[in-house]
Amino acid sequence: MNELQAGLFRSRLFRGVPEGLVSATVAGSETRELAPHEVLLRAGADNDVLYLVLAGQVSVHVPGSDRPHVQLGAGECVGELSLIDSRHVSADVVADEPTLVLGIDRGQLWSLIDSSADVARNLLGILAGRVRYDDEALEASSSEKRHFEALATVDGLTGLRNRRWLDDAFGRQLARAVRTDQPLSLLMIDIDHFKHVNDTHGHARGDQALIRVAQTLAQGLRPQDLLARYGGEEFAVLLPGLDPQAAAAIAERLRRAVQAQCGGEGDQTSAITVSVGVGSRCGDEPLARLLERADDALYRAKQAGRNCTRA
């Protein structure tokens, strides 16, 4: 048995296949030597050859991805899908290092399958493995995508959702309220004299104040309420199903909770309070208009001396 035949017997495709059939395959096929970075198969091209990797390694690169989908070494095969279904190649196959491959054309492959149940069984096993690997890769990619999407919509300091998430989630809730003609209110909450906190006690104290206020607000809301850091020292709360009177009561309760739980531990100069503006849905107005009206109410609360609520 020569080195080429020995390489074929180590391949997954020829496990358990009679030696005579393997020898006949070698006699009717051609080998190809690939230099590093040489392309064996190109995405979008036609293909009627299954390639067995006898030595070296190739990488499969899916279009649009910046890293290999899979790397295949000696004993593996490539090109089987496009050969079997007669469709274009779906990915680039590139040599990672000096690589030797054996090409088996479509006619030879079907002849092998007709001649040996082991070849057919091995090929089914290879295809099943590819499908399973692709499923796992897709799940990993989906999980990674969800992870990065979550990172993109979460405020790193407070752990609350951020303005990017707010624009989408609040908008969808408002559209639902308009569609079902249900009440909905929005609170704009601002930490009073926050610049003074930073200037007097430092940004570390300011960050602590933001975190404590965020936690206090989150603890005081219903499960269906939506809370986000609007930006800087401002927070926004969406209250589905609440009319102006009920929303004002929630706003006042939150204001009192912050005053009680975010005090300065006896040092009145570092006590934290908030001002709250309340806006409620009016007709089919867009989210931007609702935010603007709640922000106007917040401005009135600050003008009234801060640490109060206005609607």
Q: Which residues are catalytic?
A: 233
Contacts of 191 (CB under 8 A, 6+ apart): 197, 209, 210, 213, 233, 234, 272, 273, 274
Residue keyed to tokens 């064996």: 40
Would you say 216 and 152 are in contact if contact means Cβ atoms under 8 Å apart? no
